Amino acid sequence: MILPTMTPSSGGPVPVDVHTKILGIETSCDETAAAVVVGGTAVRSSVVSSQVDIHARFGGVVPEIASRAHVDLLTPVIAEALVEAGLDGPDLDAVAATYGPGLVGSLLVGVSTAKALALVWDVPFVAVNHLEAHLYAALLEDPSLELPLVVLLVSGGHTMLISMEHHGHYRLLGSTLDDAAGEAFDKVARYLGLGYPGGPAIDRIAMEGDPYAIDFPRAMKGEGLDFSFSGLKTAVVNHVRKHPDASTADVAASFQEAVVDVLVTKARRAAQQIGAKGLVLGGGVAANSQLRERFLSACVSDGVHGFLPSREMCTDNAAMVASAAWYRLGSDGPSGLDCGADPNLRLPLLTD
């Protein structure tokens, strides 16, 4: 008999203020991270131990290898985060961890660790949705951002346009119908022999190429807020087959230009559509230089308050987990110690 996964149970809201100190833990994929954030926005420490080098030779994240590394790395990473923050465990007001979505074996290391720490220090445990944490990355760095916000969340697993109307209240405006943007970067980079991870590799070589050399298709650019990137990958493959001498830098730059063009166009459209006060980027692909540049200039010309979280805050980190936990603790309260991991967790979306 398989029992349904327990959703975090709520013990009622817990008052939070500018002094509330939360230890965040993030182990959903291949970054082992811990951070201490005070009052939801003041980052006292943020330690990230990346396993990128461990997985690079396999051309992608290997779940079992990631889980093994998390068990070895997490305790020292937490110790470092506490030392850097100048805090002792019992000084904390809560311990939070990502409980989904992500790789189940990796998530369980973080969740088990966080629950155990919360038990020893006798403080609340908060289970955090990884996607929600990404939404809070921008607010963490720029608390002056006003709601409603439109967040363009782009990573290896997700491509979403989300409106954040109130804290904890999200609406999905658009998402990818096939590949995530980051997935397209990885696949194209692998095809071009640029290695893994694909995002930074393409970003680098594209700087030497002509982004307008090849006019790759912009699927669904003209209308709506959904995305599709699988055709673009096929177009790159077909182009290289037909033109084996094409400069790799030009192909990479033109591919990147096509992705960025579609992402920025749709983000602007979304912000206009809901009358957003701000437009922000989040997720690993938001570290892409071309995307960052084009995004900011679009915000300036549209007169929207645009904000780009730092590269460290776009990629997976635990500060955003602690920040999201601060809001969750204040609105819903702690999670139960019987919480498990939910690898397929979705954002809690408004549907009306």
Contacts of 30 (CB under 8 A, 6+ apart): 50, 51, 52, 54, 55, 61, 66, 69, 106
Region binding another protein by CB under 8 A among candidate stretches 111-119, 146-154, 260-268, 314-322: 111-119
Instruction: Answer yes or no whether residue 65 interacts with another protein by CB under 8 A.
Output: yes
Q: Residue 108's binding partner, choosing from another protein, Zn ion, none, with beta-carbon cut-off 5 to 8 A by kind? A: another protein
Instruction: Answer yes or no whether residue 10 interacts with another protein by CB under 8 A.
Output: no
Region binding another protein by CB under 8 A among candidate stretches 31-39, 110-118, 138-146, 166-174: 110-118
Q: Residue 316's binding partner, choosing from Zn ion, another protein, none, with beta-carbon cut-off 5 to 8 A by kind? A: Zn ion
Rounded CA gap, 161 and 225, in Å?
A: 7
One-letter amino acid for residue 112 of the chain: S
Between residues 128 and 304, which has the closer beta carbon with respect to another protein?
128
Which parts of 113-152 interact with another protein (CB under 8 A)?
Answer: 113-117, 119-121
Query: What is the size of the binding site for another protein (CB under 8 A)?
Result: 39
Rounded CA gap, 82 and 134, in Å?
A: 22
Residue 274: HSE in the Cβ half-sphere, 13 Å Cα cutoff: 24
Rounded CA gap, 65 and 43, in Å?
A: 30
Region binding another protein by CB under 8 A among candidate stretches 65-73, 268-276, 284-292, 293-301: 65-73
Between residues 91 and 165, which has the closer beta carbon with respect to another protein?
91
Instruction: Answer yes or no whether residue 339 interacts with another protein by CB under 8 A.
Output: yes
Per 3-state DSSP, the chain is made up of helix, strand and coil in percentages (nearest 5) of 45, 20, 35
Rounded CA gap, 300 and 34, in Å?
A: 34
Residue 9 in tokens? 């149970």
Q: Which residue in the set 52, 56, 79, 177 belongs to the binding site for another protein (CB under 8 A)?
A: 79
Residue 79 in tokens? 């110790």
Strands (E), 108-238: 125-129, 149-154, 159-166, 169-175
x/- binding map, residues 108-147, to Zn ion, per CB under 5 A? ----------------------------------------
For another protein, the binding residues (CB under 8 A) are 1-3, 6, 57-58, 62, 64-65, 67-68, 70-72, 74-76, 78-79, 89, 104-105, 108-109, 111-117, 119-121, 337-341
For Zn ion, the binding residues (CB under 5 A) are 155, 316
